[in-house]
Amino acid sequence: DAGVIQSPRHEVTEMGQEVTLRCKPISGHNSLFWYRQTMMRGLELLIYFNNNVPIDDSGMPEDRFSAKMPNASFSTLKIQPSEPRDSAVYFCASSLQAPFDTIYFGEGSWLTVV
Amino acid sequence: AQSVTQPDIHITVSEGASLELRCNYSYGATPYLFWYVQSPGQGLQLLLKYFSGDTLVQGIKGFEAEFKRSQSSFNLRKPSVHWSDAAEYFCAVGADNDMRFGAGTRLTVKP
């Protein structure tokens, strides 16, 4: 079975550019998470969707970040405009039903903003 | 909302020695508890989870964890560490429809 699929795996972009990260959750999973991981801040929950509806976006750093889930098989995380401090690994993860089911992580999107 | 604390940022053990990684949580009731492992350049993988019942939970790769309600803890243990166990370990708490992760503990294994 395919796991959580993220794209791109690596992206290097210039400050001020728009960045779009994409995620395809595991088929049948109802919960989708976006996490950001940095050395300084560890693993942070950015936003969580349940049945395509954003439930908790309190972790989204600021208005430059936005996330959508137009259907059960696709989600995007957009940063506009990007800044060097956004450089991090962004993980998408999904589970059958939070909070009690196992979360399955994608391999991450490694973002560098120069 | 729930929170989780991993007091140890970095632990070094010798191969073959025993291991205990600490995890404390804060939540009004008993949450769902998880331990995940992250190898370099990879996403996180589930080691084990606790929902209810027996407070000693067995996981993959020879790991186990014990839930102690009185201490709000869910410590991860392994009796004999292998070099391949070197990784970062995350404790996670599931409650109120979301999942929160601790800051992680990096494990180094000495030959």
pLDDT tens per residue across all 114 residues of chain A: 689 999 999 999 999 999 999 999 999 999 999 999 998 888 888 999 999 999 888 889 889 999 999 999 999 999 999 999 999 999 999 999 867 788 899 999 999 999
8 Å CB contact of B101 and A35 = yes
Of the residues A45, A91, A100, A107, the best mutation for testing chain B's interface (the one with the most B CB atoms within 10 Å of its CB) is: A100
Look at B104 and A43 and tell me if their CB atoms are within 8 Å: yes
Contact across the interface for A99 and B49, Cβ inside 8 Å: no
Where does the pLDDT of residue B58 fall: very low under 50, low under 70, confident under 90, or very high at 90 and above?
very high
Is residue B106 pLDDT above 90, yes or no? yes
DSSP-derived 3-state class of residue A4: coil
User: How far is the CA of B71 from the CAs of A36, A97, B10, B23, in angstroms?
Assistant: 29, 28, 22, 10
Contact B44 A50 (CB under 8 A): no
Nearest CA in chain B to A42: B103
Chain B contact probe: residue of A90, A102, A104 with most B CBs at under 10 A? A102
Average pLDDT, chain B: 92
Do the chains contact at B49 and A102, CB–CB below 8 Å?
A: yes
Q: Tell me, yes or no, if A43 comes closer than 8 A to chain B by beta carbon.
A: yes
Query: Is pLDDT of B35 > 80?
Result: yes
Per-residue model confidence (pLDDT) at position A92: 96
Q: CA–CA separation, B92 vs A43, rounded Å?
A: 11
Q: Please tell me the distance in Å from B70's CA to the nearest CA on chain A.
A: 21
Q: What is the mean pLDDT of residues B23-46?
A: 89
The reported pLDDT for the residue numbered B109 is 97
Which positions in chain B touch A93 (Cβ < 8 Å)?
43-44
Q: Which residue type sits at A103?
A: I
Are the Cβ atoms of B92 and A93 closer than 8 angstroms?
no
Which positions ≥6 away from B69 have C-beta within 8 Å?
B30, B55
**B95 vs A99: CB contact, 8 Å cut-off?**
yes
Rounded Cα distance between A108 and A33, Å, is: 12
For residue A104, which residues of chain B lie inside 8 Å, CB to CB?
46
Residue A70: asked if its preceding bond is cis (omega within 30°), the reply is: no
Rounded mean pLDDT, B79-85: 96
CA distances (Å), origin A9, targets A23, A91, A112: 11, 10, 11
